[in-house]
Amino acid sequence: MKNVVNIFWFLVVLLLSFGCSTSESSESLADSNVEDASAKARNQPQEPACSVPAINPFDMVARMGRGINLGNVLSAPVEGNWALPVEQTYFQDVAAAGFKTVRIPIRFDTYTTALADVNYENNGGKYIASPDSFQVDSAYLDRIEQVITWAMGENLIAIIDVHGDHWFWESYDVGSTYYKTGNERLAAEDRFRAIWKAISNRFACYSENLLFEIMNEAYFSMSAQEVDFINSEMLRIIRETNPTRNVVVTGGGKNSWEAPLQMNNSFLNSDEHLIATFHYYIPFKFTSSSKENNNVFDWGSQTDINLVNTHFDAVESWAQTVNKPVLLGEFGADNVCGFNYDTGQCGAFGGPTEAAREAYHSYIADAALARGFACTVWDAGHKSNKTIYRADDRSWVNSVKNAVLGIQDFCTASQFIANADIECGTDTGWSLLAKNGADAILQSAEPQDVAQGSTTINLQVSSTANLNDVILNNTTSAGQEWAGKRLRISCTAKAETAAQVFKMRLKATGVTATTYNGSPTLNLSNAYQTYSFDYDLPADLLEIQFQLICGSQAGNYWFDDFTVEILN
């Protein structure tokens, strides 16, 4: 009996001991399970949601050609903070102008679960979070998807560029307020993984004409080794759902043309669908000359050109060695005289001359294409210091647009009216604005309606009510050259019926005001006639734009052979 009792108490003690041991180790077991689950989640391959045709990255770069950046829109903390929210018409205008690619900088920080809202370590200080601890707002992804759909609907190649998320790349910079170490660093990395997981999942079924760009200019904060690590991590996530999508990458530690050269060969050799990228704003004292102390306003000497060639040749040589195609993702120079298209004022510190700005954009774009690179010029809208497209009135800074597109050399201008003889086509130097429900189409005339040369503007108005509802805008030009002048502007025109009318108008921006100087209403006939009107320009003129106003009556309008004569 005594032996039975002893056995009983031995079993009780053993069971109690096992229970205590289980209780004491539950937290560490839970930690281990979380850690194992996190590792499995990160390493478990997923079946692609759909099959997207693969395209060789060299063929893609050839297809991309000359493009433009949608700068300062989705890369702002909130869309609309820095520039007008993007509309579908933007992509229509970009495609009509002749661009092939739109790089779309996007910031995710504002719309992703904050680090402060995630418990990423336990009481023992062990890291317990994963990418699944962070979520990107689905409504924001919906908005991005809408924008991408608009772009691709115009047969443009689109690039999702994770751009304004300095909180992440600066988390590696010991001098930044974003700098992080330990578990906080791990959490930041998982937050960035979550962003790329959300992008990759949402856009997995989009065609090969959508590209991903992992980080923008991270090299200002991250070393080459750090960028290589993050590139590899994000690429692994992308490849789970996008096995053959072309991905744009660069290196760390050095900027501008040297950045891609810093990427490790083992990373470059690990994937067949990578496109290397770099940005070019050299010399900075010229390209950013609207800022104080950057007072180099001219560009184009042989020394300037030789420097570009040296840098681009180095990138080309490297690219050939590693067998990767190249995208020049950003380049550009400040507006003429530091002009602000929102306020209508030149900058306090000046800026490039018109000829120098045009020459820089022309040479850089041509130099890129000559080496087999694609390029996307930097444009941040009418409120910025680098403006090419104005979303406020759907017009272009035409001389720069044409310089980037490589079509400026054979276009005939008459003073400030670009493509005055329409021989460069109706989409060069001219843009259509239809408002208040008006419906109009800008197109080339049929051969029987051409006034002279090979091309005439045909404006087809099908629905309108007021004269000012249909406006045909020419390019906007710096106007100081014509300040205080008296001008005579003439054109050749006809209409479908004798009931149709139009006006010629000058938009003149001065130091103190913007004025619209319009001709009287001019009556058209169904035979070509010459129409003229004289204009007196203000002495403080800064900017000038020619416009045709023809929204009173529906029907076909034809215009050609614009001339500007200086009378004094």
Helix (H) or strand (E) holding 210: strand 210-213
Q: Can you read off the two tokens belonging to residue 241?
A: 């759902």
d(C-alpha 30, C-alpha 32), whole Å: 5
CA 323 to chain centre: 26
pLDDT for 411 equals: 66
What residue has token string 């906007």? 476
Helix (H) and strand (E) counts in the chain: 12, 21
- For 296, how many CA atoms within 13 A lie in the half-sphere containing its CB? 13
Q: Can you say whether the dihedral through the CA atoms of 366, 164, 159, 71 is positive or negative?
A: negative
Please report the domains of the chain, with CATH numbers, ordered by start residue.
Answer: 66-405 (3.20.20.80), 430-566 (2.60.120.260)
Q: Can you say whether the dihedral through the CA atoms of 79, 142, 98, 421 is positive or negative?
A: negative
Cβ contacts of residue 399 below 8 Å, gap of 6+? 354, 357, 358, 408, 418, 475, 477
Cβ contacts of residue 160 below 8 Å, gap of 6+? 104, 106, 144, 148, 199, 203, 210, 211, 212, 213
d(C-alpha 63, C-alpha 81), whole Å: 33
Which of 199, 193, 207 has the alpha carbon at shortest distance from 245? 207
Residues of the chain with pLDDT under 70: 1-49, 408-411
Strand order in the sheet with 555-566: 439-444, 457-463, 555-566, 486-495, 529-536
Q: pLDDT tens digits, residue range 215-263?
A: 999 999 999 999 999 999 999 999 999 999 999 999 999 999 999 999 9
Q: Are 379 and 69 in contact (CB under 8 A)?
A: yes
3-state secondary structure of 178: coil
Helix (H) or strand (E) holding 560: strand 555-566
The amino acid occupying position 235 is L
> Dmax of the chain from CA atoms?
130
pLDDT for 437 equals: 86
Q: DSSP per residue over 277-320, as a string?
A: EEEE--SHHHHTTTSTT--------HHHHHHHHHHHHHHHHHHH
Peptide bond into 283 cis (omega under 30): yes
DSSP 8-class letter at 385: S
Which of 385, 390, 335 has the alpha carbon at shortest distance from 360? 335
By CB neighbour count within 10 A (0-12 exposed, 13-18 middle, 19+ buried), where does 74 fall? buried
The amino acid occupying position 478 is A
d(C-alpha 335, C-alpha 350), whole Å: 9
Q: Are 562 and 489 in contact (CB under 8 A)?
A: yes
Cβ contacts of residue 17 below 8 Å, gap of 6+? none
pLDDT for 49 equals: 58
Q: Are 475 and 387 in contact (CB under 8 A)?
A: no
d(C-alpha 159, C-alpha 144), whole Å: 11
- Tell if the pTM clears 0.85, that is, is over it: no
The amino acid occupying position 206 is Y
pLDDT for 478 equals: 84
